[in-house]
Structure 1
Protein backbone atom coordinates (compact mmCIF):
# COMPACT_ATOMS: atom_id res chain seq x y z
CA UNK A 1 0.00 0.00 0.00
CA UNK A 2 1.25 3.40 -0.96
CA UNK A 3 0.98 6.20 1.64
CA UNK A 4 0.50 8.71 -1.18
CA UNK A 5 -2.80 7.02 -2.09
CA UNK A 6 -4.46 8.06 1.18
CA UNK A 7 -6.45 11.26 1.56
CA UNK A 8 -4.89 13.68 4.04
CA UNK A 9 -6.89 16.58 5.48
CA UNK A 10 -4.84 19.57 6.63
CA UNK A 11 -6.04 22.41 8.83
CA UNK A 12 -4.33 25.22 10.70
CA UNK A 13 -3.83 24.89 14.43
CA UNK A 14 -4.68 27.80 16.70
CA UNK A 15 -1.87 29.59 18.53
CA UNK A 16 -3.19 28.09 21.77
CA UNK A 17 -2.64 24.63 20.24
CA UNK A 18 0.93 25.54 19.31
CA UNK A 19 0.32 26.90 15.81
CA UNK A 20 1.36 25.18 12.62
CA UNK A 21 -0.83 22.68 10.81
CA UNK A 22 -2.54 19.41 11.66
CA UNK A 23 -2.76 16.58 9.11
CA UNK A 24 -5.37 13.85 9.64
CA UNK A 25 -5.85 10.65 7.62
CA UNK A 26 -9.59 9.88 7.80
CA UNK A 27 -9.26 6.28 6.52
CA UNK A 28 -6.78 5.30 9.26
CA UNK A 29 -8.14 5.79 12.79
CA UNK A 30 -5.76 7.80 14.96
CA UNK A 31 -3.34 8.49 12.12
CA UNK A 32 -2.35 12.13 12.25
CA UNK A 33 0.68 14.38 12.29
CA UNK A 34 1.57 18.06 12.25
CA UNK A 35 4.11 20.50 10.89
CA UNK A 36 5.10 24.15 10.76
CA UNK A 37 3.77 24.52 7.20
CA UNK A 38 1.07 22.66 5.26
CA UNK A 39 3.83 21.00 3.24
CA UNK A 40 5.63 19.84 6.41
CA UNK A 41 2.37 18.50 7.83
CA UNK A 42 1.68 16.57 4.60
CA UNK A 43 5.18 15.08 4.45
CA UNK A 44 4.95 14.08 8.12
CA UNK A 45 1.50 12.57 7.49
CA UNK A 46 2.90 10.33 4.76
CA UNK A 47 5.52 9.08 7.23
CA UNK A 48 2.75 8.49 9.80
CA UNK A 49 0.70 6.55 7.22
CA UNK A 50 3.64 4.26 6.46
CA UNK A 51 4.17 3.62 10.19
CA UNK A 52 0.43 3.07 10.76
CA UNK A 53 0.28 0.49 7.96
CA UNK A 54 3.43 -1.29 9.15
CA UNK A 55 2.13 -1.50 12.73
CA UNK A 56 -1.28 -2.77 11.62
CA UNK A 57 0.30 -5.45 9.44
CA UNK A 58 2.66 -6.50 12.26
CA UNK A 59 -0.37 -6.96 14.53
CA UNK A 60 -2.29 -8.88 11.87
CA UNK A 61 -4.93 -6.18 11.53
CA UNK A 62 -6.71 -5.23 8.35
CA UNK A 63 -5.47 -2.05 6.68
CA UNK A 64 -8.33 0.02 5.24
CA UNK A 65 -8.13 0.63 1.53
CA UNK A 66 -6.89 4.01 0.40
CA UNK A 67 -9.66 6.36 -0.63
CA UNK A 68 -9.71 9.94 -1.78
CA UNK A 69 -12.62 12.34 -1.68
CA UNK A 70 -14.35 12.92 -4.99
CA UNK A 71 -13.11 16.07 -6.68
Structure 2
Protein backbone atom coordinates (compact mmCIF):
# COMPACT_ATOMS: atom_id res chain seq x y z
CA UNK A 1 0.00 0.00 0.00
CA UNK A 2 1.36 3.39 -1.02
CA UNK A 3 1.17 6.21 1.50
CA UNK A 4 -0.02 9.53 0.11
CA UNK A 5 1.01 12.74 1.85
CA UNK A 6 -0.80 16.04 1.41
CA UNK A 7 -0.11 19.49 2.80
CA UNK A 8 -3.06 21.13 4.49
CA UNK A 9 -3.56 24.76 5.42
CA UNK A 10 -5.48 25.56 8.58
CA UNK A 11 -6.97 29.06 8.72
CA UNK A 12 -8.33 30.32 12.03
CA UNK A 13 -11.81 31.74 11.52
CA UNK A 14 -13.02 34.94 13.29
CA UNK A 15 -16.14 33.15 14.58
CA UNK A 16 -14.00 30.29 15.91
CA UNK A 17 -12.70 27.03 14.57
CA UNK A 18 -10.47 26.32 11.60
CA UNK A 19 -11.10 26.03 7.88
CA UNK A 20 -8.84 23.45 6.24
CA UNK A 21 -7.76 23.63 2.60
CA UNK A 22 -5.87 20.91 0.70
CA UNK A 23 -4.09 22.79 -2.12
CA UNK A 24 -3.24 19.67 -4.17
CA UNK A 25 -6.91 18.62 -4.25
CA UNK A 26 -9.01 21.46 -5.73
CA UNK A 27 -12.23 21.99 -3.81
CA UNK A 28 -11.15 19.80 -0.90
CA UNK A 29 -12.12 22.04 2.01
CA UNK A 30 -13.37 21.15 5.48
CA UNK A 31 -13.72 22.63 8.96
CA UNK A 32 -13.08 21.74 12.60
CA UNK A 33 -13.77 23.46 15.90
CA UNK A 34 -10.24 22.68 17.18
CA UNK A 35 -6.91 22.06 15.45
CA UNK A 36 -7.18 18.37 16.32
CA UNK A 37 -10.70 18.11 14.92
CA UNK A 38 -9.70 20.09 11.82
CA UNK A 39 -6.84 17.66 11.10
CA UNK A 40 -9.14 14.68 11.66
CA UNK A 41 -11.71 16.19 9.28
CA UNK A 42 -8.96 16.90 6.73
CA UNK A 43 -7.87 13.27 6.76
CA UNK A 44 -11.46 12.13 6.23
CA UNK A 45 -12.02 14.67 3.43
CA UNK A 46 -8.80 13.62 1.67
CA UNK A 47 -9.71 9.92 1.92
CA UNK A 48 -13.16 10.57 0.43
CA UNK A 49 -11.73 12.81 -2.30
CA UNK A 50 -9.16 10.18 -3.34
CA UNK A 51 -11.81 7.43 -3.19
CA UNK A 52 -14.01 9.48 -5.53
CA UNK A 53 -11.13 10.08 -7.97
CA UNK A 54 -10.43 6.35 -8.10
CA UNK A 55 -14.13 5.52 -8.58
CA UNK A 56 -14.19 7.83 -11.60
CA UNK A 57 -10.89 6.46 -12.98
CA UNK A 58 -9.23 9.84 -12.54
CA UNK A 59 -5.60 10.42 -11.67
CA UNK A 60 -4.84 10.84 -7.98
CA UNK A 61 -2.53 13.87 -7.63
CA UNK A 62 0.49 13.74 -5.39
CA UNK A 63 1.88 16.49 -3.21
CA UNK A 64 5.39 14.95 -3.20
CA UNK A 65 6.92 17.43 -5.65
CA UNK A 66 5.32 20.54 -4.15
CA UNK A 67 7.64 23.14 -2.67
CA UNK A 68 6.34 25.52 -0.07
CA UNK A 69 7.76 28.95 0.66
CA UNK A 70 6.53 31.97 2.55
CA UNK A 71 6.77 35.30 0.73
CA UNK A 72 6.89 38.41 2.91
CA UNK A 73 5.99 41.91 1.81
CA UNK A 74 6.06 45.25 3.60
CA UNK A 75 2.74 46.49 4.89
CA UNK A 76 2.89 50.30 4.69
Which bracket does the TM-score occupy, shorter chain normalised? Answer: 0.7 to 0.9
CA shift for structure 1 position 2: 3.5
TM-score by length of 2: 0.76
Match for residue 57 of structure 1 among 54, 57, 60: 54
TM-score by length of 1: 0.81
* Aligned twin of 1:48: 45
CA shift for structure 1 position 26: 0.3
From the superposition, tell whether residues 42 and 69 of structure 1 become closer, same or farther in structure 2 (CA, over 3 Å): farther
Name the structure where helix makes up a greater proportion of residues: 1
CA shift for structure 1 position 13: 1.2
Runs of 4+ residues deviating >6 angstroms: none
RMSD: 1.8
Equivalenced residues, count: 67
* Aligned twin of 2:26: 29
- In structure 2, the residue corresponding to 1:23 is in which secondary structure? strand
* Aligned twin of 2:7: 7
Relative contact order, higher structure (CA 8 A, sep 6+):
1
Q: Which structure's CA Rg is the greater one?
A: 2
Q: 1-side partners of 2:13 and 2:68: how far apart?
A: 25
